Structure 1
C-alpha cells in the first residue's frame, strides 16, 4: 500500500540511519538537458590529461594556423588593383608587381621577427605576450585591443571573400551571399567547439587543395605567358572598376599617395602571420622547433602565391569588379588554364578551394583569439570566463563571442569586402610593431648570443610595420579606418577598468585574512527557519537546522495572507512541531525580501555578539518549466540576507521529483563517462573492487582527490586513488603533503589494505609514478 504524504512528512523527522557507503557510490545524480544536448552535439567531454593528445603536427598546424595568411593571397592583389586601376588604368599592371615586392620585403622581416618571438617565448608568443613581458601591461593592452579587432575582422573578411569566390563559380548564388556567409561562420564555430583534433582534420584538406591549385595555376600560367598563349582581358567592362588614364614618369601618373594606398591594401596579405607565434602551445614536441619550421614554410608559400598571382594579374590584365565577382583570381585562373573542358574544371576546383580556404581562414581567429583572450583574462583585462576551457578543452566563450561579432559584421555590411577591408590590417600591423619593439628591448636586456643581429632584425620589422600602419591609417582614414582608431582606445579603457576592478576585489578579499581567521566566533548562534508551507522541503530544512545545534532556533512565516497564515499554524501543530515556535511576522506590503531582512536584522540586534543563520527551504522543480511555473522567492531572499552583517543565508534544496530522472551519472560511472582510460593491469596488480582488508594488494589508478587533515593533533595527507572499478584511500600519517601525490597523477601503490573512516585504505603505501599530474601549458 502506498505511503500517505502525511506519513512521509512525519517519517522525515525521525532520526535516520547512516546511508551505507555502497548506496552512496551508486547514488544517481541527474544531468541537465543542456549537458546531454552538449554531449550529443560536441561529443563526450575531454578531461585535462587528454589535452596533450590534442597537440598538432606540422602539416596540420600549417593548415589550421596559416589558413588566414595563405588565403589572403587570393584577394590581396585584387585589393591593390582596386586602388591602382581607377587612378592610372592599364598602367596599374606595371605597378602591381613592384608594389607586391615591397609587401614581400615586409613579410620577410616580419617572419624573421616572429622566429625570434617563438624562440624567446616558447610557451606562447605574439605581440601581447612580448609587450607584457618587456614593456608591462600598459602597452600589452594596446596590443590586445589591436589584435582583438584584427581577429574578429579576419572572420568577416575571410568569409566575405569566400562567398565572393563561390559566387564567381556559381553566379546564381550572388543574392544569397550573406546567408551563406552566416552559415559558414556557424559551421566554423561548431567545428572549433568540438576540439582541435577534429578542426585539423576538417581544415587540412581544403588548405592543401588551395595551395596545390594555386601552385598549379602559377606554373601553367607562367609557361603559357612565356610562350605567348595566355588570354588578355579588356580593362573596360560592365561592372568593373572605372579605369583611369595612365601618365608619365616613374609611377606612370600615379601619385605617391595612390601607390602607398595600394601598398597598404596589398599589406592585407600579411594578416595572420602572428597566429603561429600565438599558437606555439598547440604544437607537438619539440614545440619551438616545429613552430619555427612551420612559420618558415608558411612565409615561403605565402610569398610564392602572392607574387605569382600579382605577376599573372599583370600579364592577363585581370580587372577588379565592384560587386566582387568574378574575382581577379578567378579571371587569372581562367586565363592560365584556358577555355578547354579540363581548364574549366581546374578553374572551378580553384574557385571552390578558394571559397573553402577563405571561409576556413577564419579558423585563425577561432584558434588565436581564444588563446589571446585567455592570456588577457588571466591578467585581469577580460572576464574570468575567457580563461576557462570548455567541454572539449577549448576556450568556448571566446569562440562563441568571435562568431557572434563576425555574423553582426557580415549582416551589417551585406558581406561587402570593400566595406570590411577598410577596417582591416591596422590591428595586425600594430601588433607587428609592438612585437618587434618588444623583442628589441628583450635583446637589450638579456644580450644572448648574436643579440645585436637579432635586435636589428626585430627593429627593422618594427619600423617597417609602423610605416605600413601609418600609411594604412592615413590612406584609409576616410574609408573607415577612423573607426579602428576610435575603438582601440575604448578597448584599452575597458581593459583598464576591468583590471582595476579585479584588483580592488582581490584587495577587499585578501585584507586582514589572518586576523579574520583568528577572530573569536560569536557567542550566540541564532537560526531562523523561514517557512511558507508545511511539506517535505520544510521537513528537510528543519532537519538541517537542528544539525547546526543553535543556541536558539525559530521558525518564521512572513504573513502576506492572514487566512493562509492561520491554516499554516494549524498544519504546523498537526505535524507535531508545536515544540518549535512558529513566529508569524506581518508583511503587509508583500515585499518578502525586505521583510526577511528586517527579521534577520532584528535577530542580529537582539544581543551584543550574535551570528544569525537564515535557513530557507528551496524547492527545485523541473529545469525548463520550473522557473516559469514557480516563483524564485527563496533565491531572492537568500541574496538579500546574504548581504547583511553577521548573517548567513543557507538555501536547503529539495528536489521535487514528478518522474524518474532520465539520464544520470553515478559516482562510479563518473570514472568512465569522462573518457578516463583505465590504467593497464600488470601481473600482481589488483582491481580496487577486489581489494579486501588485512591483505596485501598492488593497485594502479589516478589520484582523484588529495586533502590534508588532522586527527588527534597529528597531520596526515589523504589521497583517493581510483581505477575503473572503484576507489581506495592512500593515507600518509604525519605528512601534510607528499611530493608528486597530486590530483591527476597516475601511480602504482602497494601495501596492506585496511579501513580508514569506513573506507578501504592503505596506510603509508609504497608507490611509483606512472604519469605525473597534468599541467596545462
Structure 2
C-alpha cells in the first residue's frame, strides 16, 4: 500500500523552506575563540555606529556647541559602566556554562518566578535589537546612497523579513562567514580612528559648522553649559549613550557553544570584546568631538559617516575607504540584528520549558529551528519598526531599559550565588556583581524618568504587563498539572461502566455518517443511536425519508432544537443520558467530511469542533470526531474527472518532492552498522551477537502481574524496537533489568543471545547494551 500523499500546504512549505532536516542533524557546533568573538559580538561592537550620535541628538538642541565638550565625560561614565558590567559577566560565564545568561542566573538563584523579570527584559531586548540594528544598518546604506533615504523604512522591513525567511530555512550563526563582518568592521573603524587621531595631532581635522548645516538637528545658540544643559538633559543624553552597551550579555547567553573549557574560553572572548568595544567607543567619541560631526533630523547621513568623510577626505583612496567603512557598518549591524533570530527563539524555548510561555515555542520546525519563535520575533519587530517609522532615535528609548534590567538581574543573581557558595575570593566577586547590579538599576531608573515622554513610558507599562502575562500562563499550566495529578490519583484504576451508550450525531445521510455508524458498531456499546437536532422541519423530514430509503438499521432520533444552538442541545442531551442511569458512560461520534482545506472550509462549517468541546466538559462523556476522506472516494469512483486528473498530477509532484525525504528518514531510522557489528537480518537464534541500531520505539508492556513500587506505581517491562539498514528487531527488558534510560532516537549497541519462539521474529531478552549516541536534542546531546 502506497503512503498517503502529502498535502498541498506541505508541498508549498517544502518549496519555500527546502527539504526538512532529520533530527539527527541537530548538532551544536563548538566555536573556537576567534570565531566566537566574531559570531557573538556584533550586537555589542556594532552599537558604536550609533551610540555617540544618540548622545549628540539629545545635547545639541539644549547645550549648543558645548555638547561636544560634554560628549567626552558622558562617554567616560559609559565606559566605567562597561568595565563593571563586563567584570560582572566574567563571573557569570564561569559559574553558569549553560546557555541562557541572566535568565538562568536569576532562575537558579531566585527561582523561576523572579526569573521572569529577566525573561521579560531579554524578550524586549531581543525584539528591539532587531529593530534598532536593522534600522541603523539601513542608515549606513542610505548615508552612502542618499537617494535611497525616502525608502528607509521599506528597506529595513524588507531586511527583517529576509532574515526571518533565512532563519526559517535553518540559517546557522556559526563559522567564519558570520565572523567576517565583525572583523571587517573592527579593522575599518580602527583604521579610521588611528588615521583620524594622527591627522588631528599633526595637521588638524576639518570641522563641520554645526549651526549652518542644512537638515541638521537644531543647535542651541547660547551658552549651552549655562543656558540649556540642565541635569535632565545630561541624564537623557547619558541614557541614549547607554545603548552603546547593548549586546555585552550575548556571550553569556551562549556559553555552551564554546569549546572546552567553556567558561574559561567565554571569559577570554568576553574580555577581548569589552576591550574592543571600549576602544571603539572612546575613539568615535573623540573624533566626533574633534570634527563636530552633527546628527541630521532625517537620521542620515549618520555621525559615523560624517566622521569618515572628514578623516578619509574626498580623494580617490578616501572615497574607497569611506565606502568600505559604510559597507562594513551595514554588514555588522544587519548581522547584529540577525543574532536575535537565534537568541530569541532559544530563550522562549527555555521559558516555555519552565511553563511560562506556550508550549508551541518549544517545538522545532521544518528545518530544526524554533520556527514559532522566529515568526513571533519577526512580527513584533516589524510592528515596532512601522510604529516608530524605522527611526533609530525613536527606538532607543525602548532599548536600554530591557538591556540594563538584564544586567541588574545578572548582578543580583551572582551576588546571591556568591553569598550561598562562598567560594575562594567571593567577597571581591560579590563587590563587583553587586556594584554592577546597583549601577544598572540606577541606569534603568534614569531611562524610565528621563526618557519617559519619548517612548520609555511604553516599556514601563509593557514590562510589568509582560511579567504578569508570563506568571498567568504559568499559573494555567500549574493548574493543569495539579488537575492531572489529581486525576491520576483518583482514577488509578480503570472505570468499568455498567452501561455504555454510543451516539452518532447526524445532519445528513452521506458516506461520512455511514462510516461513523460502522465505527460505532465496532465499539460494542449497549446501544447505538443516531441523533439529529432539528433546526429546519422540512430538512429533518427529508433526512428521515432518506434514512428509511437506505434502510439503515440504526434507529434515528430527531430532537427539536428551537434556538438552533446545536452544541448546547447536544451537551444537554448527553448530560441527561449520563444522569438517567448511574454508572453510565456515553461516547458521541461526530462524522466529519474531509476535503481539501480550502474546499472543506467552503463546503462545511466547524460544528463538530464546537459540539466536541461542549461534550468534553461533561463527566463520563467522550466526543470523538470521525473523519472521512471524501476526495479519495471521488477519485476512485470518477477517475476521469478533470479535477481529479489535476489532483493526481499534484500528488505525483508532491511525492517527488518527498521521495528524498523518505529515503533520509529511512537512513536515519535504520543506520548502516559498522563492519564489526552483525546486521539485524543476520541474527541467528541461539547465537550470541552484537548489533548496533537506532531506537525506533520504546513501549512499557502491559501485564496483569505488575509489581508495585513503594509509592504504589507500577513496575512494567520495557519493549524496545531497534533497527539498522537491514531491518528491525524487538528487545524486552524485564522489570528491574535495565532499559529505563533508553529513549527513542538513541543509537544503541546491544549484545545478547538471539531468541526465537514459534513464528515470532528473532528477539533478545535482557541483553547488555550501551548508548552510542544520545537522542538528538536531548540534554545529553546538548551537553556534548
Q: 2:384 aligns with which of 381, 404, 409?
A: 409
Residue 585 of structure 2 contacts residue 621 of structure 2 at CA under 8 Å; is this kept in 1?
yes
Question: CA 1:734–1:314 in structure 2 vs 1: closer, same or farther (change >3 Å)?
Answer: closer
Q: 1:293 aligns with which of 255, 268, 274?
A: 268
Match of 1:149 in 2: 124
Question: CA 1:666–1:207 in structure 2 vs 1: closer, same or farther (change >3 Å)?
Answer: closer
Residue 671 of structure 1 contacts residue 724 of structure 1 at CA under 8 Å; is this kept in 2?
no
State the distance in 1 between where 2:663 and 2:429 align: 51
What secondary structure does 2:451 align onto?
helix
Match of 1:761 in 2: 763
CA deviation after TM superposition for structure 1 residue 179, in Å: 0.5
State the distance in 1 between where 2:618 and 2:587 align: 11
Establish whether residue 702 from structure 1 lines up as the match of residue 694 from structure 2: yes
Cα deviation 1:406-449 (Å, max 9, x = unaligned)? 11121122112222222321221122122112211110111011
Q: 2:601 aligns with which of 627, 639, 646?
A: 627
Q: 1:460 aligns with which of 432, 435, 447?
A: 435
Match of 1:727 in 2: 728
Question: CA 1:633–1:426 in structure 2 vs 1: closer, same or farther (change >3 Å)?
Answer: closer
Residue 272 of structure 1 contacts residue 364 of structure 1 at CA under 8 Å; is this kept in 2?
no
Match of 1:18 in 2: none
State the distance in 1 between where 2:615 and 2:275 align: 65
Cα deviation 1:337-367 (Å, max 9, x = unaligned)? 2221121011112112212222232223223
1:638-653 correspondence runs (5 A):
638-653=612-627
Match of 2:575 in 1: 601
Match of 2:711 in 1: none
Question: CA 1:768–1:155 in structure 2 vs 1: closer, same or farther (change >3 Å)?
Answer: closer
Question: CA 1:87–1:601 in structure 2 vs 1: closer, same or farther (change >3 Å)?
Answer: closer
Q: What value does the CA root-mean-square deviation take over the aligned residues?
A: 3.1
CA deviation after TM superposition for structure 1 residue 222, in Å: 2.5
Match of 2:463 in 1: 488
Q: 2:501 aligns with which of 526, 542, 551?
A: 526
1:244-283 correspondence runs (5 A):
244-245=220-221, 247=223, 254-283=229-258
Residue 161 of structure 2 contacts residue 378 of structure 2 at CA under 8 Å; is this kept in 1?
yes
CA deviation after TM superposition for structure 1 residue 122, in Å: 1.4
Residue 684 of structure 2 contacts residue 754 of structure 2 at CA under 8 Å; is this kept in 1?
no
What secondary structure does 1:88 align onto?
helix
Cα deviation 1:367-411 (Å, max 9, x = unaligned)? 322233223223333222223333333322222122112111211
Match of 2:713 in 1: none
State the distance in 2 between where 1:55 and 1:36 align: 34
CA deviation after TM superposition for structure 1 residue 512, in Å: 4.7
1:325-340 correspondence runs (5 A):
325-340=300-315
What secondary structure does 1:425 align onto?
helix
CA deviation after TM superposition for structure 1 residue 140, in Å: 2.3
State the distance in 1 between where 2:378 and 2:400 align: 19
CA deviation after TM superposition for structure 1 residue 667, in Å: 12
What secondary structure does 1:597 align onto?
helix
CA deviation after TM superposition for structure 1 residue 640, in Å: 2.1
Residue 672 of structure 1 contacts residue 724 of structure 1 at CA under 8 Å; is this kept in 2?
no
Match of 1:8 in 2: none
State the distance in 1 between where 2:726 and 2:495 align: 45
Q: 2:705 aligns with which of 704, 708, 713?
A: 713
CA deviation after TM superposition for structure 1 residue 185, in Å: 0.8
Residue 91 of structure 1 contacts residue 246 of structure 1 at CA under 8 Å; is this kept in 2?
no
Q: 1:377 aligns with which of 339, 349, 352?
A: 352
1:351-430 correspondence runs (5 A):
351-430=326-405
Match of 1:637 in 2: 611
State the distance in 2 between where 1:520 and 1:465 align: 59
Establish whether residue 611 from structure 1 lines up as the match of residue 558 from structure 2: no
1:657-672 correspondence runs (5 A):
657=632, 658=635, 659=644, 660=648, 661-662=651-652, 663=654, 672=664
CA deviation after TM superposition for structure 1 residue 112, in Å: 1.0
What secondary structure does 2:719 align onto?
strand
1:431-510 correspondence runs (5 A):
431-510=406-485
Question: CA 1:733–1:499 in structure 2 vs 1: closer, same or farther (change >3 Å)?
Answer: closer
Match of 1:104 in 2: 79
Question: CA 1:515–1:85 in structure 2 vs 1: closer, same or farther (change >3 Å)?
Answer: closer
Match of 1:749 in 2: 750
Establish whether residue 239 from structure 1 lines up as the match of residue 215 from structure 2: yes
Question: CA 1:683–1:412 in structure 2 vs 1: closer, same or farther (change >3 Å)?
Answer: closer
Cα deviation 1:58-94 (Å, max 9, x = unaligned)? 4444344322211110011111122333333333333
Question: CA 1:573–1:691 in structure 2 vs 1: closer, same or farther (change >3 Å)?
Answer: farther
Question: CA 1:666–1:479 in structure 2 vs 1: closer, same or farther (change >3 Å)?
Answer: closer
Establish whether residue 171 from structure 1 lines up as the match of residue 173 from structure 2: no
Question: How many residues are treated as equivalent by the alignment?
Answer: 750
CA deviation after TM superposition for structure 1 residue 610, in Å: 0.7
Residue 109 of structure 2 contacts residue 417 of structure 2 at CA under 8 Å; is this kept in 1?
yes
TM-score by length of 2: 0.88
Q: Which has the higher mean CA deviation after the structures are superposed, 256-265 or 102-111?
A: 256-265
Match of 1:119 in 2: 94
Residue 669 of structure 2 contacts residue 723 of structure 2 at CA under 8 Å; is this kept in 1?
no
State the distance in 2 between where 1:496 and 1:164 align: 39
Residue 681 of structure 1 contacts residue 700 of structure 1 at CA under 8 Å; is this kept in 2?
yes
State the distance in 2 between where 1:181 and 1:675 align: 42
What secondary structure does 2:251 align onto?
helix
State the distance in 1 between where 2:412 and 2:311 align: 42
CA deviation after TM superposition for structure 1 residue 266, in Å: 1.6
Cα deviation 1:280-333 (Å, max 9, x = unaligned)? 234454432332232222212211211111122222221222212111111111
Q: Which has the higher mean CA deviation after the structures are superposed, 715-724 or 199-208?
A: 199-208
What secondary structure does 2:324 align onto?
helix
Residue 570 of structure 2 contacts residue 615 of structure 2 at CA under 8 Å; is this kept in 1?
yes
State the distance in 2 between where 1:286 and 1:198 align: 21
CA deviation after TM superposition for structure 1 residue 216, in Å: 1.9
Match of 2:189 in 1: 214
What secondary structure does 1:305 align onto?
helix
Q: Which has the higher mean CA deviation after the structures are superposed, 580-589 or 442-451?
A: 580-589
Question: CA 1:165–1:668 in structure 2 vs 1: closer, same or farther (change >3 Å)?
Answer: closer
Residue 745 of structure 2 contacts residue 774 of structure 2 at CA under 8 Å; is this kept in 1?
yes
State the distance in 2 between where 1:674 and 1:392 align: 18
Cα deviation 1:146-197 (Å, max 9, x = unaligned)? 3322222222121222212211100101110010010011112222223352
State the distance in 1 between where 2:759 and 2:203 align: 90
CA deviation after TM superposition for structure 1 residue 631, in Å: 2.5
The gaps in structure 2 that reach 5 residues or longer are: 636-643, 707-715
Question: CA 1:685–1:621 in structure 2 vs 1: closer, same or farther (change >3 Å)?
Answer: same
